[in-house]
Amino acid sequence: MKNIVLLGSTGSIGRSTLEVVKNNPEELRVVSMTASDNWRLLAEQALEFKPDFVAVAKSEHENKLRETLAGTGIRVGAGADAIIEAVHVAGADTTVAAIVGAAGLQPVMAAIACRHQICLANKETLVVAGSLVMEAVKKAGIDLIPVDSEHSAIFQCLQGAAATPPRKIIITASGGPFRSLSAAALAEVSVEQALKHPNWNMGGKITIDSATLMNKGLEVIEAHWLFSVGYEQIDVVVHPQSIIHSLVEFSDGSVLAQLGWPDMKLPIQYALSWPKRWQPPLPALDLVKVADMTFTSPRYDDFPCLSLAFKAGKDGGIMPCVLNAANEVAVNAFMQRRITFVQISEVIEKTMAKYTNEKVQSVEKLVGIDREARLQAEGIVKDCK
């Protein structure tokens, strides 16, 4: 029985994780769960799964959450410290990290310090602080299992291949809803259009990241840290059907791929069951129903966020942290209709240009840089016409 801390239970990954838990009651139990501000759904989940502790990041929701859960025996917390407290619940041994954005970094570091198995769906943790996270994982002697479908695919392809490291990792991208639009048309797309992903049902931020291809850029940086490969060994290929989730090329030219329907329950379950495989959480892939699979190169000029991510990753140091902070601000500004779709990359590039790179020193230092970069990006947003 794994006792799970579920960080970000109300998001798309969190909800899918709870479905996996429900389907495997003899193997999995949720002992604590957290949410940012959706206290109503958090309360509903708590009443169903009966964790020992729940926490909401926005303190203004604490009283309402407490009132709803009164008499259940479930302890309630609120604020940033309470999110960390959720990691320390007695008996917890596994953390599913599904908080969106850089906010997931400190809870993940706390879970590593507690020597939990980490099931990582929060790619920004490795983007912002990859060297510190992987060093902490190694020191703690724990397993970090990727949950993102692309990195889960790579992880699965590498099982049993320790003696033959990959020559190349090929990350697939759906291309988002705008992969066929002209550069001129991209300047006119609406928030509503950007939020309609053709294959995946995800939260707003990650859906916009998919539309700009920044999501794929963040995944490139994440893959660098997870699999100890250089950026020159990572390729991105647009695969609109989202059936092949990623591929690994070996030294003899052999290429292994992991295939499946575009549904997060399978990679979530694999992270929780590894090294075992449990009963399938969804119907197996039917190649006849898939019919066609196509592949093209990304349009780097029209989707510059991908190039910016490669650049930040290769530069290293604090630049991935700056990239991520600026992206979170820019995506939020676009969703608030304060900037256009194409201005997202402009805000990121201009924010990165304001920084002289330096070595990553500590999580606390990165938190400060993240905060400062957000202010810089916000100022650039205000200057956008």
What is the band of 164 on the pLDDT scale with cuts at 50, 70, 90?
A: confident
Per-residue CA distances from 279 to 4, 23, 27, 266, 282 (Å): 19, 9, 12, 10, 9
List the chain domain ranges.
2-146
Q: What is the CA radius of gyration of the chain?
A: 20
Mean pLDDT value across residues 61-66: 95
Assign 160 a pLDDT band (cuts: 50, 70, 90). Answer: confident
pLDDT at 203 over 80: no
Q: What is the mean pLDDT of residues 241-270?
A: 96
pLDDT tens track for 83-129: 999 999 999 999 999 998 888 999 999 999 999 999 999 999 999 99
pLDDT digits (tens, 9 = 90+) for 338-378: 999 999 999 999 999 999 999 998 999 999 999 999 999 99
Q: What pLDDT was estimated at residue 198?
A: 75
Pick from 147, 202, 146: nearest CA to 176: 202
Largest CA distance in the chain: 62
What pLDDT sits at residue 204? 84
pLDDT at 219 over 90: yes
Sheet of 244-249, strands arranged across: 234-238, 168-173, 244-249, 255-259
The fold for domain 2-146 equals: Rossmann fold (3.40.50)
Check pLDDT > 90 for residue 259. yes
The confidence score (pLDDT) of residue 112 equals: 98
Model confidence pLDDT, tens digit, residues 305-340: 999 999 999 999 999 999 999 999 999 999 999 999
pLDDT above 70 coverage of the chain, percent = 99
Helix and strand numbers, DSSP H then E, in the chain:
17, 11
Name the residue with tokens 């953390």.
Answer: 95
Average of per-residue pLDDT across 38-43? 96
pLDDT at 153: 98
pTM: 0.94
pLDDT at 201 over 90: no
Q: Render 226-277 in DSSP notation, one character per residue.
A: HHT--GGGEEEEE-TT--EEEEEE-TTS-EEEEE--S-THHHHHHHHHTTS-
Residue-level pLDDT at 101: 86
Cβ atoms 40, 32 nearer than 8 A? no
Tokens of 91: 């008996």
Which percentage of the chain shows pLDDT scores above 90?
91
Minimum mean pLDDT range among 203-212, 242-251, 293-302: 203-212
